[in-house]
Amino acid sequence: MPQFKIKHITKYTYKGLVRDSANQIILFPIKDEHQEVLDHELKITGDPHVDVYRDYYGNEVGSFTNCEPHTELVIYSKILVNTSPRALPIDDFFALHHWDELTKVKHQIPYVDYLKQESFEGFDELRTVIEKEKTANETPYAVAGRFNQYVFNNFKYIPGITTVESTLDEVWNLKAGVCQDFAHILLVMLRSINIPARYVSGYICPHKNGMRGEGATHAWVEAYIPTYGWLGLDPTNNCIATETHVRLAVGRNFSDCSPVKGVYKGAAEHKLEVSVTVSYENEEEEKIDAEIIPVTLPETAIPLNSFQQYLEMQQQQQ
């Protein structure tokens, strides 16, 4: 049973003083029979009180507010977690009946939520691929694995080519992206053939093992397989997610699982730096200062949502 130590640092540096910063964090690892959280240390600038609740998808979510003027916000999360391997689904002739079971659950909660498709102009092109990749007399498990491999083989992993705001059409046209983009394409493919699929955010372990997605939060997909449950598929690495994948949250897409998001009152421009380090428990601690790495942002001011626009208008009127 591997034991991992994971440190996740998020640092916002603002152009000027900001205040009334309201934030949501999903940095609390899932706790179940395959993932045991032994310790979780959470430190936030200003030491605010964090209210924790469980959302619709079963994730632990924290919310906090920093009302005092500040030029920097650092969220430091350190977890110690044990993971255990999962048995694979049985893939035999009888598993072909799983298609009938999927038809029965498609209108049931929670599966209905994981079958809804996002708007996607390139879907007709992708559907041609789906029909080609899905062969007759294959089980849902086999087809899911084939789709996972298709995304891995046909999309280039290029950090920085997309952002969290990139659409499915942009990713499809580029045929490139990062783990988040790979996961979103696989979600479309699975849902199109009536396999409920959900987005997963978390970390890939261990440290420096050659897997794509190290040094940041990772994303993959879980497909529902009747009589088995949720099967983790990592299209970025063309593998099944097992004890090397530590889960933070599940949802319909990235928006449901974003590790950190919030709004504040002040100048729109800011710099975001994120770092994730993973090590075995017996490995030597690394210095926190050396872990923080910059995340590339546009030179122009970051687009505001309506609430941020309202707050800045209020500030300008004072």
- Tens digits of residue pLDDT in 52-106: 999 999 999 999 999 999 999 999 999 999 999 999 998 888 889 999 999 999 9
Instruction: Report the C-alpha gap between 187 and 193 in whole angstroms.
Output: 10
Topology of the domain covering 3-83+257-317: Immunoglobulin-like (2.60.40)
Topology of the domain covering 93-241: C8orf32 fold (3.10.620)
Sign of the CA dihedral 100, 106, 111, 114?
positive
pTM: 0.86
> 300: pLDDT confidence band, cut at 50, 70 and 90?
very low
Residue with tokens 């030491």: 47
The helix/strand/coil state of 179 is helix
Angle of helix 140-154 versus helix 98-105 axis, rounded to 10: 80
> 171: pLDDT confidence band, cut at 50, 70 and 90?
very high
* Structure confidence at residue 6 (pLDDT): 94
Instruction: Report the C-alpha gap between 195 and 190 in whole angstroms.
Output: 5
Sign of the CA dihedral 134, 135, 136, 142?
negative
Helices H / strands E in the chain, number of each: 7, 15
Residue with tokens 């209020």: 314
In the chain, where the domains are located: 3-83+257-317, 93-241
Instruction: Report the C-alpha gap between 35 and 97 in whole angstroms.
Output: 30
Instruction: Report the C-alpha gap between 294 and 226 in whole angstroms.
Output: 42
- Tens digits of residue pLDDT in 242-285: 899 999 999 999 999 999 999 999 877 889 999 998 887 665 54
Of 265, 210, 194, the residue nearest 17 (C-alpha)? 265
